Amino acid sequence: MGHAVVTGSASGIGAAVAAGLRKEGFDVIGIDLKGAEIEADLSSHDGRRDAIKAVIGASGGAIDRLVLCAGLGSHLEDLPLIASVNYFGAIELLDGLQGALKRGNEPAAVAISSNSARFGPFDDHPFVLACLEGDESRAREIIAGENGFIAYGGSKHALARALRRRSKTFGADGIRLNGIAPGPTETAMLQSTREHPIYSKGFDALEIPVGRYGTAEEIADFILLMMGPKAAFMHGSIVYLDGGNDAATFPDRF
Ligand code: NAD
């Protein structure tokens, strides 16, 4: 088997995806702040550029799988940092590795959005539009005056749209590109958000018909399925994996 790249591989969903890909026989190149094959800070352009260069060196320039998991939760005080990691850290890696994916074998990529990407007035929000225009300094400037729900949900909303916008170009290169929108999932990020005096409050109101949060392994297993041969016709999709949370909250929205 070939090479698979996973950002945020040191913890939570990214760690579960990396373990699953190793089990499938891939040579996994993890990227994280620490505890990964490539240690890089995806919050800055320089960190992303170095990570891309290191991936090309480690893989020989061809990769078969890319999973963009690195992210920060809504509870962080530094809102511009959420924007830089969740949106620009994912999209710059995706675009920077498009050529390597094109040279891969049945290449597929998945980015992690969130079901909170629809929990807000995001369609024409200036923060979302600045992200989609690739204007990181403007996006950081706008989000500094907002709150964590807008920073997190808005960055994940922009990410989902950026994936859909790339369906033609990635499809033309033979790369299947999809997104997943998990609901609350038991990881370090969820734990920190639940411990926050303000951001923990949102959890009490959540309706989850299956009656529990997801596990990192459940999200990872689905991501592996999305990238594998059984999902060969899946492209440009954003899949909710949230125990019914989105359906229960917006039953008549589709
Ligand atoms: P996690 O905190 O366990 O893992 C996130 C990883 O991203 C960590 O290893 C962290 O070091 C890495 N990371 C953060 N900033 C980075 C940076 N600047 N450079 C490189 N790596 C960095 O969290 P998780 O829950 O596994 O989150 C994985 C993804 O799933 C995130 O994008 C998150 O937004 C998304 N998500 C999580 C949930 C949930 O409830 N846990 C729900 C929906 C979406």
Residue 199 has what pLDDT? 82
Between the CA of 96 and the centroid of ligand 1 the distance, in Å, is: 20
Domain ranges of the chain: 3-241
**Parallel, antiparallel, or unpaired for β 65-68 and 108-112?**
parallel
Domain spanning 3-241, CATH class: alpha beta
Residue 38 has what pLDDT? 98
Cβ-based neighbour number of residue 125 at 10 Å: 19
Say yes or no: CB of residue 69 within 6 Å of ligand 1: yes
Q: From the CA of 68, give the closest atom in ligand 1.
A: 32
Helix (H, G, I), strand (E, B) or coil at 107: coil
Residues of the chain with pLDDT below 70 are none
H/E element holding 215? strand 214-215
Joined tokens for residue 233: 């016709």
* Nearest-angstrom CA–CA distance, 251 and 102: 39
* Nearest-angstrom CA–CA distance, 38 and 58: 9
**Contact between 181 and 241 (Cβ < 8 Å):** yes
* Nearest-angstrom CA–CA distance, 105 and 147: 42
Q: Which residues touch 46 (CB under 8 Å, ≥6 apart)? A: none
Between the CA of 127 and the centroid of ligand 1 the distance, in Å, is: 21
- Candidates 87, 152, 199, 240; catalytic one: 152
Sheet holding 238-241: strands in order across?
Answer: 38-39, 27-32, 3-7, 65-68, 108-112, 176-182, 238-241
Residue ranges in the chain assigned as alpha helix (H): 12-23, 45-59, 79-83, 89-96, 98-102, 126-132, 136-143, 148-165, 167-172, 188-195, 201-204, 216-227, 245-249
Return the best residue to mutate from 7, 13, 242, 245 for the ligand 1 pocket (most ligand atoms within 8 A of CB). 13
Return the best residue to mutate from 7, 69, 192 for the ligand 1 pocket (most ligand atoms within 8 A of CB). 69
Joined tokens for residue 154: 């808005």
b/e burial code for range 156-167 (CB count within 10 A of at least 16 → b): bbbbbbbbeebe
Residue nearest to atom 6 of ligand 1 (CA): 8
Residue 7 has what pLDDT? 99
**Residue 152 among the catalytic residues:** yes
Q: Give me the residue label for tokens 């990407």.
A: 117
Residue 204 has what pLDDT? 75
Residue 202 has what pLDDT? 77
Between the CA of 89 and the centroid of ligand 1 the distance, in Å, is: 11
Q: From the CA of 43, give the closest atom in ligand 1.
A: 18
Q: From the CA of 44, give the closest atom in ligand 1.
A: 18
Q: From the CA of 186, give the closest atom in ligand 1.
A: 41
Say yes or no: CB of residue 220 within 6 Å of ligand 1: no
